Amino acid sequence: MHIHILGICGTFMGGIALLARAAGHNVTGCDANVYPPMSTQLEEQGIGLTEGYDAGQIALNPDLFVVGNAISRGNPLLEEILDRNLAYVSGPQWLAKNVLQGRWVLGVAGTHGKTTTTSMLAWILEEAGLNPSFLVGGVPQGFGVSARLTDSPFFVIEADEYDTAFCDKRSKFVHYRPWTAILNNLEFDHADIFADLAAIETQFHHLVRTLPRNGLIVANGAEASLERVLKRGCWTRVERFNIADGWQAGLADASGAFKVSHGGTPIGETKLNLPGAHNRANAVAALVAARHAGVPIEVGLRAIATFQGVKRRLELRGTVRGVTVYDDFAHHPTAIAATIEGLRSRVGKARILAVLEPRSNTMKLGTMKAQLPGSLADADRVFCYAGNLGWDAGEALAPTGNKATVFDHLDALVEAIAAEARDGDEVLVMSNGGFGGIHGKLLAALAK
């Protein structure tokens, strides 16, 4: 079958492309504003890309169009598909029907940490010899691809709460019907499609309602929002983490080693190459979920110690003149604060220069702008790119005093960072997009 994917360079739809190709289909796709790592991954896999959404792509005559959730009414290609009454389906629908049916699905949901936790869970199952299939919203370093299809009964998936498609406004994860589900955390986000936190809680409860009685929910017990979701009705066994009477990660020492306990009873010890309490909590959730799939805790602990991380999650991009540059996907204030805290725990008193692009739909709306100053409190300097914002970033960051500087032009931003950075500084670039290739530009500017 020939499948043509609209929005193929999104992390989810790019994963769909890899899975469809592995299943034997002829896969092509189109997108706009293509950037790595997904564009590079698709090219390496021999999947043809068309730039843009011109209606002429109908001439490719595919058997099925798979439509990503970034595609809205008014898109020229989508309108032509609808006018001609051609066969189309959403990405989650295609995945549920053609790949997930009959498999043991392990889904990882939550506002933050989904990609890292999903990658950890897939890695634990891999190290345990279970050879899982997976679809992750990023590229796990140990695997090198965001998705793969195997003959294993286990499928690990990042269960996103964003909507499914233009024709289906339910959350993506409602389609997955997991047997094992991690509910990592739940905050207000995606202000472009959700009115408030209660609306997101309703979607999470839709997910809970699909779990079987003999399944397992691994829930963050410290999240009041998740407790509200479960109190609305739960028919599945729940194990909690991040609380004293549940599963817990202890403090990490200088090497990254930490202890894992259950109800206060020591269970074992492991080492994590990613800094921050949030990542240790992610690891514990993955351990408990893998245990449900038959992986002994001691095997999971050994696997966590070899986990290499995920591209664009505190990913080292280079060091020039003693200045280290990282790339991170953080874009919500809570994630920004956690990422800075994690880096701080690693670098001690070294200066952290936080470079921020408020790019997500929620951030562009200004919904979280009041929380930004607090989220950046542990950074020594803040550089904010406000080229595409509809609100005054300088005004929003005024509570940081003279610590923050706002730029409307990328080149000026790069020049300012390069001029200020000195030997021993840690430059943390945070954006959920390509950020105009700032990492390479910054490293080049530092080299001069």
All domains in the chain, ordered by first residue: 2-92 (3.40.50.720), 102-304 (3.40.1190.10), 315-447 (3.90.190.20)
Give bridge partners of residue 88 from the DSSP assignment. 65
CA dist 75 and 101 (Å) reads 31
* Prediction pTM value: 0.87
Q: Which residues contact 419 (CB under 8 A, 6 or more apart)?
A: none
pLDDT score for 35: 64
Q: What are 150-153's contacts with CB under 8 Å, separation 24+?
A: 153/103, 153/104
Query: Which stretches does DSSP call E strand in 91-223?
Result: 104-109, 133-135, 147-148, 154-158, 163-165, 168-171, 180-183, 216-220
Number of alpha helices (DSSP H) and beta strands (DSSP E) in the chain:
15, 23
- How far is it, in rounded angstroms, from Cα 416 to Cα 410? 10
* CA 324/CA 317 separation, integer angstroms: 8
Question: ∠98-29-34 over CA atoms, to 5°?
Answer: 125
CA separation for the pair 235, 430 (Å, rounded): 39
Rounded to whole angstroms, the Cα distance separating 160 from 229 reads 16
- Yes or no: say if 17 and 42 are a contact pair by the CB < 8 Å rule: yes
Strand partners, 9: none
Encoded tokens for 420 = 């200020």
**What local confidence, expressed as pLDDT, does residue 281 receive?**
96
Q: What angle do CA 381, 35, 339 make, to 5 degrees?
A: 35
pLDDT at residue number 310: 87
Q: Is 164 in contact with 170 (CB distance < 8 Å)?
A: yes
Q: Is 9 helix (H, G, I), strand (E, B) or coil?
A: coil
pLDDT of residue 37: 65
Q: Return the exposure string of 272-311: e unless at least 16 CB atoms fall within 10 Å of the residue's CB, then b.
A: bbbbbbbbbbbbbbbbbbbbbbebebebbbbbbbebebbb
Neighbours of 441 (CB within 10 A): 18
Q: For residue 228, give the 3-state DSSP assignment.
A: helix
Of 184, 240, 238, the closest CA to residue 216 belongs to: 238
Distances (CA, A) of 426 to 320, 340, 414: 11, 11, 15
Which strands sit side by side in the sheet containing 404-407, from one edge to the other? 315-320, 323-328, 426-430, 352-356, 381-385, 404-407
Question: How confident is the prediction along the chain (448 residues), in pLDDT tens digits per residue?
Answer: 999 999 999 889 999 999 999 999 999 999 997 666 677 778 888 898 899 999 999 999 999 999 999 999 999 999 999 999 999 999 999 999 999 999 999 999 999 899 999 999 999 999 999 999 999 988 899 898 889 999 999 999 999 998 999 999 999 999 999 999 999 999 888 777 788 999 999 999 999 999 999 999 999 999 999 999 999 999 999 999 999 999 999 999 988 899 999 999 999 999 999 888 999 999 999 999 999 999 999 999 999 999 998 888 888 999 999 999 999 988 889 889 989 998 998 899 999 999 999 888 778 778 888 889 999 999 999 999 988 788 888 898 999 988 999 999 999 999 999 999 999 999 999 998 888 899 999 999 999 8
What is the Cα–Cα distance from 112 to 358, expressed in whole angstroms?
16
> 248, 41, 267, 281: which is closest to 145 by C-alpha?
41
Per DSSP, helices labelled H in 161-212 are: 197-208
Separation of first and last alpha carbons in the chain = 51
Contact 313, 329 (CB under 8 A): yes
d(CA 283, CA 295): 14
CB 110 within 8 A of CB 182: yes
Phi and psi torsions of 145, nearest 5° = -135, 160
Nearest partner of 344 among 310, 373, 308, 376, judged by Cα: 376
- Cα–Cα distance between 106 and 286 in angstroms, integer? 10
Angstrom distance (rounded) from CA 140 to CA 319: 22
